[in-house]
Chains A and B, each alone.
Chain A
Amino acid sequence: MKLRFWFILPTWVWLTGLFGAPFAIVLAYSFLTRGYYGGVVQPWTLENYQRLVDPLYLRILLRSFIMAFAATGLCLILAFPAAVFISRSAKHKHLYIQLVMLPFWTSFLVRTYAWLFLLRDTGLVNTVLQRVGIIHSPLPLLYNDGAVLLGLVYAYLPFMVLPIYATLERLDPSLPEAAADLGARPWATLLHVIVPLSRPGIVAGAVLVFIPCLGAYLTPDLLGGGRTVLVGNLVQAQFTTGRDWPFGSAVSMILMLLVTILVWAFLRRESEHLA
């Protein structure tokens, strides 16, 4: 038993020092005032949180939520049929799962950059469309909300496929068969039997996609070109160019709070599900 203590100790020290302590500092900063030269000074105040009610910042928060919702929804629509396909494959399940995971294993930055490369004015999409003669001048595909949404969907799609596939695999095959025997057409079986039964996977996938999308920073930064400001960019700007650490801290705390509530609600649901 004593050994167990020493085994967990290093992790505990690391977590306290480099996760707990920074968190405490940011929490404290969020109640302090911005100094004249961009430092953090007293007095203690609630002003940073009050500023968040400003329509300008509320809009950024709302945009982040809408973006995360849209990305999650799109991922679900794209991933579900793919998961069904993989679970029905007789021979190559393992290969297909690896194909889904492969982009996940390549660099996140590279995957985001790939879209920058494809969507730019002289990118492949515009070049091909111009060659074919559908358009005469390049379409503005990059640096807008659509590009950011595409980047997020592309980045987090595997997170949606895998949990849905996992529940489909566990699904009792006699249930869809029963539906078919009772006269349901394939589409009806899919809609009324398979989709409801794969809800745990859908919920898990939705949480796995929604959370990173809500706090996304790199994707909106690269593909949005600074025009699509989401919460993550707001935080980053306060700590770099804006030099308003107390306000940035307050935004971070709100973001953490939202994420924690989401995860907590999900875990509660899960435990109820298991009970």
Chain B
Amino acid sequence: MKRWLTVYAVGFFAFLHLPLLTLAVFSFNSSRFTVWERFSLDWYRAIFRDPQLIEATWNSTIVAIVATAISTVVGTLCAYGLWKRGSRLVTGTLYLSLVTPEIVTGISLLALFQWIFRWLHWHLGLYTVILAHVAFSIAYVVIVVSARLRTVSRSLEEAAMDLGANEWEAFFYVILPALGPGIVAAALLALTVSFDDFVITSMVAGVDSETLPMVIYAMARRGASPVINAISALVTVFFGIFVLISERIRES
């Protein structure tokens, strides 16, 4: 049976990785068809000549950074609060927000914003995207930081307070440093989730606030194109570097 399992495992990992690998390989193909002609970087050059793509990447980056910063702070504070004393209501709502189908989250946020705009004559824009991204990232941050908190001994905080620190000082100087790697991992997760989101973003983005996944989607809807392969390869490499960094930090 062992041999069969090994053979199966090879097939399994091929199934998981070959599609993305092929995608990347053909981004270097000069032909737009899936027949290998010769090596070329034309499709990568095409990315940098496309102002729409550049702007969308810029938008995605702003959204991801701002949303990550907010959700990491808010989520870390919440995780610490829940560590002191749990709350079924908060935890339950966080989990519910996590299992809600993305499309339902998207339409309900759209409904909310449109309802508010009845009184305030604002429009959908990058700020609505950021608000939405923070809303769905907080749960991820709380979960990752909470997992790290479970490894922190409660006597650490008690010792700090016995030595004269107040609650806030104990948090800031003792607990927070111990959470470092967990917070970084949470932030990187929030960053990838935010940078990648399409479904919710497409519902709450304004006409002038297209993100990278929205542009990729629009191009993919028109059919496959080597330019998408090239962007996909870049995005994948980028994400890969992030994960490597986060793994390094978690191991240290």
Contact = CB atoms under 8 A, between A and B. Distances in A.
Interface of A: 1, 3-5, 7-8, 10-12, 14-15, 18-23, 25-26, 29, 78, 81-82, 84-86, 88, 96, 98-100, 102-103, 105-111, 113-118, 120, 122-124, 127, 154, 157, 186-187, 190, 211-212, 214-218, 222, 232, 235-236, 239, 245, 248-249, 252, 255-256, 259-260, 263
Contact of B23 (A7, A18, A114): A114
Interface string B105-124: 11111111001000000000
Q: Which of A85, A100, A235 has the most chain B CB within a 10 Å cutoff?
A: A85
A26 B232 contact: no
Nearest to A240: B203
B228 interface: yes
Contacts of B171: 3
B104 A255 contact: yes
A239 B203 contact: yes
A239 B236 CA distance: 31
Contacts of A22: 105, 108-109, 111-112
A246 to B, nearest CB: 11
A99 B105 CA distance: 30
B35 interface: yes
A268 B198 CA distance: 32
The main secondary structure of chain B at its interface with chain A is: helix
Interface in B118-165: 131-132, 134-135, 138, 142
A224 B240 CA distance: 29
Interface size, B (range): 35 or more
Contact of B9 (A25, A82, A120, A248): A82
Nearest to B141: A11
Q: Which of B12, B198, B221 has the most CB of A within 10 A?
A: B12
B78 interface: yes
Contacts of B104: 26, 215, 235, 252, 255-256
A10 B5 contact: no
Contact of A10 (B6, B77, B115, B228): B77
Interface in B20-38: 20, 22-23, 26, 33-35
Interface of B: 1-2, 5-6, 8-9, 12-13, 15-17, 19-20, 22-23, 26, 33-35, 73-75, 77-78, 80-82, 84-85, 87, 90, 93-97, 99-112, 115, 131-132, 134-135, 138, 142, 167-168, 171, 192, 195-196, 198-199, 203, 213, 216-217, 220-221, 223-224, 228-229, 232, 235-236, 239-240, 242-243, 247
A29 B111 contact: yes
A205 B127 CA distance: 36
A107 B232 contact: yes
B34 A114 contact: no
A8 B78 contact: yes
